Amino acid sequence: MNEFCLEISSANKSFPGVKALDQATFQLRKASIHALLGENGAGKSTLIKIITGVHKQDSGKLIINGKEETLNNPNDATKFGISVVHQERNLIRRFSVGENLMLNNMPKTALGLIDYNEIAIQSKKWLKILDLDIDPNTLVSDLTVAKMQLCEIAKALSLKAKILLLDEPTSSLSPQESKILFSLLKKIVREEGVSIVFVSHKLEEVFNICDDVTVLRDGQNACTSEDIKNLDRQKLVRLMIGRDEQIVKSTRKNQNTKDTILALKNVKTELGHKNINLELNRSEIIGLYGLVGAGRTELMKCLIGQDKITDGEVIINGKKVTINSPKSALEKFKIGYISEDRKKEGLILIHNVLDNTSITVWSQIKKAIGFVSDGMISKKVDPYISQLEVKTPSNYQLISNLSGGNQQKISVAKWLAAGTDILIIDEPTVGIDIKTKAYLHELIIKLADDGTSIILISSDMPEMISLADKIIVMNNFQMNGIVENNHDYDSVSSKIMEYIHT
């Protein structure tokens, strides 16, 4: 008999411009907890979407209980007992807990009307399996986030789920609540024979509850169904971030200026950062490294005034300043932010190239009455569009029709046009092919050489080591240490790893 209840073998999946999965393999043993790990863009979510019937693999097999199956939509997955507990909660908030659990199989009275007493009785059964002491008549909107999470699991169980996918289940739970969740997960694995796929960026959780580990990197298996006992933290981190990639030897020209342009002193933020100290010189590239959830992007959003800095000093060009909004960050202090999520935050997909590139400069070039003509805009932004070699048939092409790499170039061009002194670049090469990646790397170096100071956020270790002048390692919204980067991969990466774990 096959010991796997779910198997994916050599699955490939491509999206325009990206190969999301490349011969990926995944094997879930019955009644086990299996960690699925990888950095952003490694292909985890694509794999999950294949398992839950949202996407179909281009090639490769999906085997459920020993038989090859095809899932056309999420409903098909549910029929095979595959249920996913999403980060976004999928409960109907204005319904009671009981009704939510029984929603697609409501007990009825002789007249065909819903029998709410029976709903309470039947749903109690599922709540009891999870030791949940909730009155089934409570409205979901009255529950705490942790309890909602548990109700979602109860709902999945009520759908007779035998395979449960948990996507970052603890991201909004307190440590105490997470502990309760974990003991329940172990219980349903033991007593109900459920198999769990556990996706998390918190490695301590993985070591705490998982039996097997699969790590994806760039859509490929960095390891497949490895027994957790054979791994330690260090090995796991190394598998996740990889070290196969070639390091671009930096060819920086003038990185030794001692002209401090930005300094943060003992900064605290409303998002929970503490004791943040950093100095950024002209023409310098500072890297912020850390695993996802370390608070890097959040820190930068506080710096540009989107969230509040509650304590400490921000010093720009020697003067203590307060930045109230991204608008004043750009206009007064010439700080630009290139978002990691270029589709949601960085670009307006249904506008054309010209509009997107010029969005940051309208206020600079508009005439007295606020009038801006296409000609004026073209004059200003065309040099940047051609400098970055954006491949677009014309300036009037819609952004959504460009490839990921070209979209990223537009994101950069937009800030170049704005003439920023400090550029924050967040995960610039996620989901971008190797060639464009190399080009973007050269571009970042050139920008710094030409006098722009850059704060680079990246989870890609080789990228970090090839670009940054010094690397600040963050974890849990704090700075763990600063590594002077000599671009020697082995020594620098092991130093970074030490800091991550302190």
For residue 422, the minimal CB distance to another protein (Å) is: 36
CB neighbour list of residue 368: distance below 8 Å, 6 or more residues apart: none
Q: What burial class does residue 344 get, using C-beta atoms within 10 Å of its C-beta: 0-12 exposed, 13-18 middle, 19+ buried?
A: exposed
Task: Tell me how far the alpha carbon of residue 273 is from its chain's centroid.
Answer: 19
Backbone angles phi, psi at 302, to 5 degrees: -70, -40
Compute the distance between CA of residue 215 and CA of residue 410 in angstroms, rounded to an integer. 32
For residue 197, the minimal CB distance to another protein (Å) is: 17
Compute the distance between CA of residue 304 and CA of residue 300 in angstroms, rounded to an integer. 6
Q: Tell me how many residues contact another protein (CB under 8 A).
A: 22
For residue 94, the minimal CB distance to another protein (Å) is: 6
Torsion angle defined by CA atoms of residues 451, 458, 306 and 388, in that order, rounded to the nearest 10 degrees: 50
Instruction: Name the residue among 499, 500, 496, 479 with its Cα closest to residue 267.
Output: 479
For residue 203, the minimal CB distance to another protein (Å) is: 26
- Does position 74 interact with another protein (CB under 8 A)? The reply is yes
Compute the distance between CA of residue 337 and CA of residue 273 in angstroms, rounded to an integer. 19
Compute the distance between CA of residue 285 and CA of residue 298 in angstroms, rounded to an integer. 19
Instruction: Name the residue among 484, 387, 429, 352 with its Cα closest to residue 17.
Output: 429
For residue 237, the minimal CB distance to another protein (Å) is: 33
Nearest to another protein of 81, 428 (CB atom): 81
Nearest to another protein of 114, 292 (CB atom): 114
Identified binder of another protein from the candidate list 27, 32, 57, 78, rule CB under 8 A: 78
Compute the distance between CA of residue 252 and CA of residue 231 in angstroms, rounded to an integer. 38
Compute the distance between CA of residue 15 and CA of residue 366 in angstroms, rounded to an integer. 39
Instruction: Name the residue among 182, 130, 176, 128 with its Cα closest to residue 153.
Output: 130
For residue 106, the minimal CB distance to another protein (Å) is: 5
For residue 109, the minimal CB distance to another protein (Å) is: 9
Site track 275-294 with another protein (rule: CB under 8 A), x = hit: --------------------
- Does position 434 interact with another protein (CB under 8 A)? The reply is no
For residue 174, the minimal CB distance to another protein (Å) is: 9
- Does position 75 interact with another protein (CB under 8 A)? The reply is yes
- Does position 23 interact with another protein (CB under 8 A)? The reply is no
Helices (H), 193-217: 203-209
Nearest to another protein of 60, 74 (CB atom): 74
- Does position 270 interact with another protein (CB under 8 A)? The reply is no
Nearest to another protein of 102, 381 (CB atom): 102
Torsion angle defined by CA atoms of residues 14, 224, 45 and 36, in that order, rounded to the nearest 10 degrees: -170
- Does position 106 interact with another protein (CB under 8 A)? The reply is yes
For residue 104, the minimal CB distance to another protein (Å) is: 5
Site track 108-147 with another protein (rule: CB under 8 A), x = hit: x---xxx--------------------------xx-xxx-
Nearest to another protein of 23, 109 (CB atom): 109
The pair of structure tokens assigned to 267 is 């900064």
Nearest to another protein of 14, 138 (CB atom): 138
Nearest to another protein of 93, 308 (CB atom): 93
- Does position 391 interact with another protein (CB under 8 A)? The reply is no
The pair of structure tokens assigned to 84 is 């996913």
Site track 83-102 with another protein (rule: CB under 8 A), x = hit: -------xxxxxx---x---
- Return residues touching another protein (CB under 8 A): 74-75, 78, 90-95, 99, 103-104, 106, 108, 112-114, 141-142, 144-146
